[in-house]
Chains A and B, each alone.
Chain A
Amino acid sequence: MTEATPKLAWKGVTKRFEDRTVLDALDLSVAPGKSLVIIGGSGQGKSVTIKTAMGLMRPDAGSITLDGECIVGLSEGKRRKMFSRIGVLFQGAALFDSLTIWENVAFRLINADGVPRKEAKERAIEALEQVRLAPAVADRFPSELSGGMQKRAGLARAVVAQPEILFFDEPTTGLDPITAAAINELISNQVRRLGSTAVSITHDLASAQTIGDEIAMLHNGKIIWRGPAAELNTTDNPYVRQFVEGRAEGPISHAV
């Protein structure tokens, strides 16, 4: 069976911090237009996994390919070009607190793409409408918004330039269930609308099944299970079972 080139692939990616190995020869890939969700316990290296793919962290070994091309150790200029193809929603939204919401959303347009401010503002307001934020929010500062609204603004910033790949790092962590459901729905809508490939991180299983076509579980630096989203509830993989059922006893022992 020949497979199409994956949109994004990690091959044997290893990442150490001092003497701690966080990623241990990790293999993972996502096909074009698909949505992959990475689940796993806190501190297992989920954020590190996507940061190596975004070029924000350099792996100690292994390769990462985007459309079949290796993106490890790119020059700053090439990396900047690669960044124009990706959109990211960070764990805490990571909005720039000295800028207004619309300036945040339009940041790439103004500072990297040279779009005139007036046009950039119009596009930012359109993107805000996509995530159901009223135009009145545009001139406010991030600190004046609730957590859920900040996540929406972060999502608008990620999608405004219509990227090919979207990364979502724990988009619903810290939100109430209703707001979380709304964010999940917005994410699914945006990914579908843009036809982008998506890689999300979550430890919220409802969220994993709403936004993911496929789910992969990261444990001890490796992917220990991977399958279609629907199989999360039926697989007999003991790690996944313990995680899904939220039991303290099982193969995953916490060093708490």
Chain B
Amino acid sequence: MTAAEAARQVARHPIQSLGRSTLSAVRMVGGVGVFAVRGTIAALTPPWFVSQLLRQFVAIGFFSLPVVGLTAIFTGSALALNIYTGGGRFNAEQVMPQIVALGITRELGPVLAALMLAGRVSAAIAAEIGAMRATEQIDAMRTLSTDPFRYLVGPRLLAGVLMLPLLTAVADTIGVAGGWLVATRVLDFSSAVYIRNTVDFLQGWDILSGLIKAAVFGFIVALMGCYHGYNAKGGARGVGRATTHAVVSSAILIFASDYLLTTFFTHAAK
């Protein structure tokens, strides 16, 4: 259905359209759930395709380092400047290092790394698996007695869950370093004080909670790529649609689960 047809349909039968899209949303949530369970089982039980897993570690983890690093350094620097000027309004500019560290480790490190992966990795996974679907490579794999969930989906989910926390650890470090760079070069903080304030202030849980979030986001990014690619329909256009859906749904789910996890963590900490 084209967008124009869809719009006409909504105008003519508003209630039915709403009902239909609700139904299809429910069906999709169910579909994603079943897919996630099958994918998780495939990821956690043998046989494993180790070479596929290593390939995904490299594709998802290693090759994402540059984008994640660049994002982190600019964000850390900008955050430091903003908090310094904002904090100056009530003479709190001296706690800037602590706030930067907290903001990066608990929130911005994992979320920004995940969003970069949503753009880079989720899209690439959806396009690759979608093209394999369109050219019958997935059917071919099944007729060669190999389960695509084990060969394609499992390794990507595992790589997402394991690599995004590592990337987040890198983003945390580079982000804080970005703050330190601005503080020591642009503002007149002493390097030793900045580092001591950061280290004394940060608690293990600040970092750990961010890494746990990252593991969840990594699962989401890989899952959305695999799900939309695997279910791509209708040739090249279908692959394009799958890619868009993978990126948009990853991003939304990252934000939604970020809020839920943060709520959960703050309650649990009490």
Residue ranges of A at the interface with B (Cβ–Cβ < 8 Å): 51, 54-56, 76, 80-81, 83-84, 86-88, 90-92, 94-97, 107-108, 111-113, 157
B49, A111: Cβ atoms under 8 Å? yes
Chosen A-B contacts, 24 in total, with CB atoms closer than 8 Å, are: A76-B147, A80-B145, A80-B147, A83-B142, A83-B144, A86-B143, A87-B143, A91-B136, A92-B135, A94-B140, A96-B132, A96-B140, A96-B141, A97-B137, A107-B141, A107-B144, A107-B146, A108-B145, A111-B144, A111-B151, A112-B144, A112-B145, A113-B145, A157-B144
Given known A111-B49, A111-B151, contact A88–B135 (CB-CB < 8 A): no
B49, B142, B143, most chain A CB atoms within 10 A = B143
Interface residues of B (CB under 8 A from A): 49, 132, 135-137, 139-147, 151
A94 contact set on B, CB distance < 8 A: 135-137, 139-140
Give CA–CA (A150, B92) in the complex, Å.
68
Please give, as numbers and ranges, the residues of chain A lying within 8 Å of B143 by CB-CB distance.
54, 56, 83, 86-88
Using A88-B140, A90-B140 as known contacts, say yes or no to A111 and B146 having CB atoms under 8 A apart.
yes
Q: Is the CB of A112 within 8 A of B146?
A: yes
A96 / chain B contacts, CB cutoff of 8 Å: 132, 137, 140-141
Q: Given A51-B139, A54-B139, A88-B140, list of 13 further CB < 8 A pairs?
A: A54-B143, A56-B139, A86-B143, A90-B139, A91-B136, A94-B140, A96-B132, A108-B146, A111-B144, A111-B146, A111-B151, A112-B145, A113-B145
* B143, closest chain A residue (CB): A88
B144 touching A56, Cβ below 8 Å: no
Scoring B136, B145, B146 by chain A CB atoms within 10 A of each residue's CB, the highest score goes to B145
In the complex formed, the residue of A with least CB distance to B139 is A56
**Shortest beta-carbon distance from A35 to chain B in Å:** 19
Q: Could you tell me the distance in whole angstroms from the C-beta of B140 to the nearest C-beta in chain A?
A: 4
Return A114 CB to nearest CB of chain B, in Å. 9
B51 to chain A, nearest CB (A): 10
Tell me the bound Cα distance from A5 to B193 in angstroms.
86
Give the Cβ gap from A191 to chain B, nearest Cβ, in Å: 17
Tell me the minimal C-beta distance from B145 to chain A in angstroms: 4
B131 to A, closest residue via Cβ: A97
Cβ-defined contact, A108 with B136, below 8 A: no
Query: Within 8 Å CB of B146, what residues of A?
Result: 107-108, 111-112
* CB <8 Å contact, B145 and A84: yes
Contact between chains at B145 and A92 (CB < 8 Å)? no
Closest to B38 in A: A76
Q: Within the assembled complex, what's the spacing in Å between the Cα atoms of A80 and B146?
A: 7
Residues of B within 8 A of A157 (CB): 144
User: How long is the Cα–Cα vector from A97 to B131 in the complex, in angstroms?
Assistant: 10
Partner of B136, one of A80, A81, A92, A111: A92
- Point out the residues of chain B lying under 8 angstroms from A108, CB to CB: 144-146
Q: How far is the CB of A168 from chain B (nearest CB, A)?
A: 13
With both beta carbons as reference points, the residue of chain B lying nearest to A169 in the complex is identified as B136
Find chain A residues with CB under 8 A from B135 CB: 92, 94
CB nearest neighbor in B for A167: B143
Report the minimum CB–CB distance from A47 to chain B (whole Å).
9
Which B residues touch A84, using CB under 8 A?
A: 145
> Quick one: closest B residue to A88, CB to CB?
B143
Whether A83 pairs with B145 at a CB distance below 8 angstroms is yes
Bound together, the chains give a CA A158 to CA B26 distance in angstroms of: 40
Residues in B with CB closer than 8 Å to A80 are 145, 147
Chain A residues positioned under 8 Å from B137 (CB to CB): 94-97
| A81 partner residues in chain B, CB cutoff 8 A | 145
Given the known inter-chain contacts A94-B136, A96-B137, please indicate yes or no for A56 contacting B49, CB distance below 8 A. Answer: no
Distance of A85 from chain B, by nearest CB (Å): 10
Minimum C-beta distance from B1 to chain A (A)? 12
Min CB distance A157 to B, Å, is 8
A112–B150 Cα distance when bound, in Å, is 11
A88 to B142, CA, bound (A): 11
Chain A residues, Cβ within 8 Å of B145: 80-81, 83-84, 108, 111-113
The 8 closest A-B pairs by CB, nearest first: A112-B145, A94-B140, A94-B136, A108-B144, A83-B145, A90-B136, A111-B146, A88-B143
Distance A21 CA – B49 CA, assembled complex (angstroms): 39
